[in-house]
């Protein structure tokens, strides 16, 4: 298990965590007012739900300012929203746009 302090760069933070890139990719397309359960995020990112639970990736994403804790569902499952003011999500969206532009003629 990794901690944020062990990562010496944003790239390493993402590459060291199984599913982190896929989670960021899924979050890029969501509106800030969207609320997703851990199950929703796991399905959108095609990441095993167990991975999110075991490694606490979503808690780290909250700590990093990528996600906002939006409470719990009636059955106690944690809910999250993309952070509207997240510099990390803004950078991920910019990377997604730049990649789309760079590959559109291929």
Q: What is the pLDDT of residues 59-86, one digit of tens each?
A: 889 999 999 999 999 999 999 999 999 9
Domain boundaries, the chain: 34-106
Distance separating alpha carbons of residues 35 and 86, to the nearest angstrom: 16
The reported pTM is 0.81
34-106 maps to CATH 1.10.10:
yes
């Amino acid at each position: 298990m990794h901690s944020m302090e062990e990562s010496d760069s944003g790239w390493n933070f993402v590459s060291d965590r199984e599913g982190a890139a896929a989670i960021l990719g899924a979050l890029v397309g969501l509106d800030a007012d969207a609320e997703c359960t851990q199950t929703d995020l796991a399905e959108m990112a095609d990441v095993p739900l167990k991975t999110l639970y075991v490694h606490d990736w979503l808690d780290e994403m909250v700590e990093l300012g990528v996600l906002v804790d939006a409470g719990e569902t009636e059955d106690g499952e944690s809910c999250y929203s993309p952070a509207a003011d997240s510099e990390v999500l803004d950078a991920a969206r910019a990377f997604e746009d730049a990649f789309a532009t760079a590959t559109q003629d291929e």
